[in-house]
Structure 1
Amino acid sequence: MGSKLPTTLLRRPTLAGAISSTSPPSTNSPRLSSPIIPINQVRHATFVPRHRRPYQFTQLVQLSDGSTYTVRTTSPQALYKSAKDSRNHILWQPSNSSLKNVEVDEAGKLAAFRERYGRAWDADAAPAAGTPEASEAPEKKDEPAAPVTEEVIDPFDSLTDLISGFATQNEKADMSGLSAKEQAKKEKFSKKKK
């Protein structure tokens, strides 16, 4: 770096010289030799004036039974169709029997769970008269009827039975060394073949 640049080349050009050359020098005001110009440009965000209250549109709300009413809202959508509202929800219509015990399985996860683990998890499922579980106990007509005592069924018994039954099935199957994902795939394909 033997040669140096002259300092005049490094300075920014200013408009002070151009303004002073076109206007006559005034004798009553002292003139500064170098005007004060910020080196770094500063630009703040521009203020955009907006209304304090946003514009409200008139919207027609259609309930599930077809009835409609109008509301004022900030949403520009002209018609809003409600899927779940006060007409078809158990929270607002507790006495409506058609809304009770409705299994909502929109994604199919409940069906997939029942396919894999059965219906032992259903809370209200009691064995019906025609099912094999109800007909397991043989009826004896010649013995006197004993007083019927209601047994308290522990809900965790079925959970324990389910887990232990599933564990013994896995021990019997030869799936050692497989990951859980590979085991599930193998079980799935074995169910489809049967």
Structure 2
Amino acid sequence: MREIMEEPFFVCVYKKDGMPIGQIVSPENEFPESFEEIKVKSSDGDNIEEKASEFEKIFESYCNSILSYIDMLPFIASISPMVGDAIRSVGLINFLKEKSGKTIETEGRDIFEVPSRFYSDFKEIADSANKASAVGRQIPKMMIIGIVSTYEHHLARLIRKILSSNPDRLTSSDKQVSIKAFLMQKGSTSSKR
């Protein structure tokens, strides 16, 4: 049987203020000194940024944002309620263990005997823990709102770019034009050039 030699690869993780901001993979241990020096290269070696139109850049930004949401949403949606519940449980249990004089442990439950002078502290911790748990359950909904906001943000950038590329068309007429008609007309005039 022939032995296959595995060549190692190198990964450089760039950090800013101690936090990872990006990485690059290379078969050799040679990397630029800073993440800012890295240029995205096309297959022929030219810088994609120089060739890309503003529309392409906006579209690429939108795609990257949506793909990030697609990657993260299932994970965060599954873990966020558990995090809130864990915070609630750990905080309450630690408080009860610290302040109780006696604990009765049975299968499936623990009963803590806590002096009445700690009731207001207990109530405050319990209320705070319940709020944290409620927020944990809302995080998946917040991420859905984030997806919609991302779409609206990038759509607004595209519309702004379209209007800024031909502003006199917008101001030269009192006629009301739908965005669809404007875009269709804009596309036909640019193809004539």
TM over 0.5: no
- TM-score using structure 1 length: 0.18
Q: Which has the higher contact order (CA 8 A, sep 6+)?
A: 2
- TM-score using structure 2 length: 0.18
Between structures 1 and 2, the one with greater helix share = 2
Between structures 1 and 2, the one with greater strand share = 2
